[in-house]
Amino acid sequence: MSFIKRWLSKFRNILVLIFVTGPKAVIGAIRNLTIASCWALLRCFEHPAKTQSSKFPDLCPTDDAKYVDDYIDALNEMLINRERTVREIAITSPYSGGKSSLLNTYIRKTPFLKFTSVSLASFKDLSQGVGIDSHEDNIATLDGAYGSAIKVETPKQKENLSKIEKSIVQQLLYRTDSKKTPNSRFRRIFPQPVSNFHAFSMAACLVIFGAIIGSIIYLPNFSLKGIYESILLSPNLNNLDLWIVIYLLSLPLLILRDLYKTLSSHNISKFNPVKGELAFEQQKKDSIFNIYLDEIIYFFASQKTDVVVFEDLDRFENTEIFIKLKELNKLINDSKDVEQKVRFIYALRDDVFQGNDRTKFFDVIIPIIPIASKANSYPQLKDLMQNAGLVDDVEDSFLRGVSVYVDDMRMLKNIVTEFGIYKNTLIRNLEHLNLTKLFAFIVYKNVYSDDFAKLHAGKGDLFQFFVDIVNVRKTKEAKIETEIEELNQRLLDSEQELTDSLEELNAGYVMKLLAKLAPGNNGVYDINGHRLYTIQKQEVFEQLAADSRNISHRMSSGHGTHNSNFSFQSFLKDVSPNYEERKQRVIDKAEDKKRIISKRIEQLKEELSLLHELPITSLIENVSRKEVFKKIDSKKLLILLLERGYINQNYDEYISHFHEGHMTIKDMAFIRHVQSDGKADPLHEIDNFKEALKYFSDEDYRKATFFNYKLFDYILSSENHLPVLRYLEKYLANCKDLTRLVKDGLDNLTNKDVWISSVINCIDNYWVKVIADQGATQKDKQVLLIDSINALPSNNWHTYLYSSISELSEFISESESIGLYFSNKEVDQERLFEAFVLLKVKFQSLRKAKSESDFLQQVLKRKLFEMNEDSLSLIAVNLFNLSDDESKDFSVLRSIEDDSLIKALNDEIEKVAVRLAAGQLKVSKEEDVVWLLNNKEISPEVRIDIIEKHSFVINDIRDIDNRDEFATHLVNSERLLPNWSNVEYLFENDNFSDKLLKEYLNTNYKALTNEESSSLADKDITSYSHIILDDIIDTEALSAYLSIFDYQYRVDDLKEVSMDKVLFLIEKNRLIASVDTFNALSDIGLEASVAYMIKNFDSLIEEKELDASLSVDSQIFYAVLDTEKLTQKQQKILIESRTDLIDGSREQEAFKNALGYKEIIQGNDISDCEIPRLPFEVLQAMTLASSDEFKKVLFASQNQYLDDSEAMQLLKHADVDFAQAFTAKRSFKVEDNGINNLLATILKRRSVISSFKKRDASFLEMGKSSIEVFVKKSLTT
């Protein structure tokens, strides 16, 4: 029955196969064909479809490597030119050194060689892949002789080697098309699905076999015996029983054959009949290479492979495989069936073989310089980021910093790829994601991938680091709390201390010391050389406290020294209460010290409140760096990322997606943006202010990105303003954009009054900082000040200005354009002008506000401008329609009928006067000048400056109230009209300098001498006549005054007068002509006497001689003659009257003119000349002292007064050339000139010579004309 059921079930399956499965298979085939066709059509396009990841690098080796030309050249040499000798080539470099890329590039560029590549991957877990165990498990160490160790290959190593060989054989043989190697015995499982026909036929065979066996067993008529007998009876092929027997025998034989073929290389490793367990294992026989050697030979013979490339063999740490491959290479090349030369190329690390083995094993070693290293990983990384379009997402400085820790090219590529994928994925939900921090996390993920995997499970070094940071913060918190307690205790102790000063404290301890040194006796004189009364001084006390010597003291100055057995230092240590503690209390008791301690407590409390939010970078500054990173000390890159803040405790946003719930994506984006401290975006939209604030720490409040208009409005309208206050205190107070940010708040916030009051309260010297803001323009500062004052709370707005009145006043006063912004803004002008009055603003200039008449009117009304020429002029021009010239005239301004202006001028008259004094304003009317000079509100100095600066004239100095004070300046500045009335005042004023009066007279002599002087009294004329004799009065002025002063001077008037003035008066005949006057002038000087004698010579003569009472000495005598101003007659009188003054011992140059020198030299007749007669004795003396020429002049001039004997005597005495008249025999010659002719004539008249005759030059040897003088024989004998 069961047999029938099985057959029915089988029949049903066949029907299902025919009517259900068959049609489905046909439909599926059609569908698969359609998909395949469409895909093939798409692949026909030249350019593949682009995706977001199209530019991201992959980890595959490239076939277009850079910098490989020299390597390719070396490979060509070895594989082509040396193909018969070079068979084993090693290409060496570190991991990711570019070996695979080089080989792929070479294969692409060398199509005429056939390559086969074998790659065995084994990484951290060497048991994966081809099933290789670690290298340490493959070596057994045996003890050798004398303590040596012998490493022996274990069976396990052989097994691993067999697995490597098998993998190599599989990669070689399985890559071959079975159709191209029909004779291979290496069986493959073809990729052909088992057909339904095969399945049906196999099932039918087994069913028939089972049916036959069942029939034999269960059907009595169908037994083996019957079958056997049937065959014996009819042994032909038509007998069905014969076929049944054949079928029954052949089917088991076929099955046994397949089992043998499958299990021939296996042994039974496990057999348990009780449990029905049976296990087989492959037989371990010879090397895999040896087993399949014929297959390998057949492969190379049929495939014509020239080069086999082996990669990653070095990862197994097993050099035995290289020996096997070297043997295999030799067998292949020695085989007659393989016609081509087969070369093996190994891509290896440099350290696979050590020492001689490295060069002995390979025929050629080609080293590759790694593409990426710590030295050049930055440009490699930069290029990868550039090609992927990600370079702008990460800070360049970060790339430089992190690149030195990553020198693996594959890792660099993977970092860039993962960063691109993470960025594209996370940025959809987190718009303000900090990409530099994301990149840092990707670097961490790749370099420390095992630690990253543990991070999701709350484990690993990074997770534990953040846990430890909490503990570090707790330790720091405990330390701060302890310090706060100690400082509070110090304050309490200082309050309980009764002593007020250190000297008082020291005195108390000195008393205790004295009690110990001399109980009951207070007569200690000094201690350790210090007088007792000086020890309480702090410097002396500290010096003793540091002294470790035993104390020595004296009871008085005359007593000896007593030595103690303890030192001052030990005394202070033993005495109670402790000195140092009490000293500290006294120091802490001072008010300054209390303030310092209290301030320190506040600082510590603030530090404590912020400690739990302190970033790692700030924490390192407060805690030991070694302590913070002690558990990850080996992970230098991770330390770098943590220390620079690239990885922080908010790392969850980089490893998971954000899902909206109680917060929106916008809220979270703002939170992350603030936490990452990105670029400020005050317009960022926030949906849930309350929830968003819960995510911020005190550290976040300090960041620029926390500034958000709507968020700040929400906070300022709530009861808790702390977040905004923290922002103001910690960020805005030190921000270079203070002006701009405060202005933005005023422009965009609703709660303007709360905002500006908070700003002023939180930022120390807010007004000063705005004024000093170098990053803001003057306009920005001015507008901000206007808006700030305008936005202040109305009930107490003025209190916010008190802290910086002087600074605000100075800045606003210098802001000439501030008036432009009143009309352009909705401001409370009344408040602003009240603020200006409170600040005592004085605008230095109003030029830029000249068109703002309302503003100018208020400025004038409240006197808010600096009283200077520009402001006055601008107000006058724009409010009173004056011209530019009129607006700078004080007289015109003072005439304007405007109470505000007049009041401003009067109230600020000192400043106006200063402007006048500086010449910035002018004054055109004398009465205004007088008013200014008489105005006591103006300082005397300024009034003096006005006098000196402006051109005006005061007619009568008596109109000036302070004329005594200003007279000097009026005269010096020529502001006083020159008239005798003003001169009279100046002369009578004892405070006025005589010198200035004289200068005034000298300067204004023309005007004064042109004025009618009849009104001057005689005494005034006398006084002025004496004044004008001063050296200050020049000659021209003196002459002018003398013309109007009829006054004759006495010699007594001239004692202090300069010689020039005396000579001038003599020349003008202003001295009384008398002998007494001449004699008195000798006291004044020689020049005066000489000049007076010459000027008054005729009046000094009595009976043709000088008055005998005249005091004439030789100096006067010769000086008068030297002037040559006397007539010959006057000279004759002078010489003849004072012959006693003639000095005959020298040639008298002064006499030349008087003696007719010029006429005599020229030979002219002097009979009509007034020649003075000289005494013969004087004449003889003068002849001896004079030159020959002057001797002749003397002889010729005095000839008329000499008798013959005197003449002869004088001629001989003179010893001139004419003296030859007495010695020559017949004649003698003299030079032909005027005086010789005159003298020859005189001598001829006196019969001294007989005659003389002129001789021409042609008769003389000397070539000169001469006079030949003939002597008288009577005189020569």
- Chain segment 244-277, per-residue pLDDT in tens: 778 777 878 877 776 666 555 555 556 565 555 6
Q: How far apart are CA 584 and CA 578, in angstroms?
A: 10
pLDDT of residue 1053 exceeding 50, the answer is yes
> What pLDDT is recorded for position 1014?
60
Candidate ranges 49-53, 348-352, 423-427, 763-767; pick with highest mean pLDDT = 763-767
- E strands, 905-948, in order: none
Lowest mean per-residue pLDDT among 625-629, 634-638, 772-776: 625-629
Q: How far apart are CA 380 and CA 373, in angstroms?
A: 9
pTM for the predicted model, two decimal places: 0.43
pLDDT tens readout for residues 931-959: 888 888 888 888 888 887 888 888 888 88
pLDDT of residue 472 exceeding 80, the answer is no
The closest of 697, 711, 699 to 745, measured between CA atoms, is 711
pLDDT of residue 1259 exceeding 50, the answer is no
**Full 3-state SS string of 759-782:** HHHHCCCHHHHHHCCCCCCHHHHH
> What pLDDT is recorded for position 131?
38
Other CB atoms closer than 10 Å to residue 672's CB: what's the count? 21
pLDDT tens readout for residues 1208-1239: 888 888 888 888 878 888 888 888 888 888 88
How would residue 720 be classed by pLDDT, with cut points 50, 70 and 90? confident
**Chain centroid offset of residue 740 CA:** 23
Q: How far apart are CA 407 and CA 371, in angstroms?
A: 9
Q: What is the mean pLDDT of the chain?
A: 77
pLDDT tens readout for residues 610-623: 666 566 666 666 66
479-482 long-range contacts, CB within 8 A, separation 24+ = 480/604, 480/607, 480/608, 480/611, 481/608
How buried is residue 1051: exposed, middle or buried, by Cβ count under 10 Å (0-12/13-18/19+)? buried
Other CB atoms closer than 10 Å to residue 583's CB: what's the count? 21
Residues 987 and 1011: beta-carbon distance below 8 Å? no
Lowest mean per-residue pLDDT among 217-226, 693-702, 909-918: 217-226
> What pLDDT is recorded for position 130?
38
pLDDT tens readout for residues 444-459: 888 888 887 787 777 8
Q: Taking each helix axis from N to C terminus, what angle separates 1035-1044 and 994-1003, rounded to the nearest 10 degrees?
A: 80
Paired sense of beta strands 307-311 and 115-119, if any? parallel
Region label for 554, one of left (φ > 0), alpha (ψ between -120 and 50) or beta (otherwise) = beta
pLDDT tens readout for residues 1110-1163: 888 878 888 888 887 888 888 888 787 787 788 777 666 667 777 777 888 888
How would residue 559 be classed by pLDDT, with cut points 50, 70 and 90? low
- 540-545 average pLDDT score: 82
- 335-344 average pLDDT score: 86
Q: Name the percent of the chain lying above pLDDT 70.
A: 83
> What pLDDT is recorded for position 45?
55
pLDDT of residue 415 exceeding 50, the answer is yes
pLDDT tens readout for residues 118-131: 887 644 443 333 33
Cis link prior to 577 (omega < 30° from 0)?
yes
Q: Name the percent of the chain lying above pLDDT 90.
A: 0
The closest of 819, 868, 820 to 844, measured between CA atoms, is 868
Name the amino acid, one letter, at 130.
Answer: V
Q: How far apart are CA 1100 and CA 829, in angstroms?
A: 98
Residues 1229 and 1268: beta-carbon distance below 8 Å? yes
Residues 738 and 769: beta-carbon distance below 8 Å? yes
User: CATH assignment of 1175-1276, given 3.20.20.150, 3.40.630.30, 3.40.50.970, 3.30.1370.30?
Assistant: 3.30.1370.30
- 1249-1276 average pLDDT score: 74
| Percentages (nearest 5) of helix, strand, coil residues in the chain | 60, 5, 35
SS3 assignment, position 660: coil
Fold match between domain 79-130+165-175+287-367 and domain 1175-1276? no
Q: What is the DSSP letter of 865?
A: B
Q: What are phi and psi of 483, to 5 degrees?
A: -65, -40
385/127: higher pLDDT: 385
Which residues share a beta bridge with 95? none
> What pLDDT is recorded for position 265?
54
> What pLDDT is recorded for position 657?
63
Where in the chain are the domains?
1-49, 79-130+165-175+287-367, 497-589, 867-952, 977-1151, 1175-1276
How many residues would you count in the chain? 1277
pLDDT tens readout for residues 851-872: 777 788 878 888 888 877 788 8
State the fold for domain 79-130+165-175+287-367: Rossmann fold (3.40.50)
Containing 268, the helix (H) or strand (E) segment is strand 266-272
> What pLDDT is recorded for position 138?
46
> What pLDDT is recorded for position 617?
67
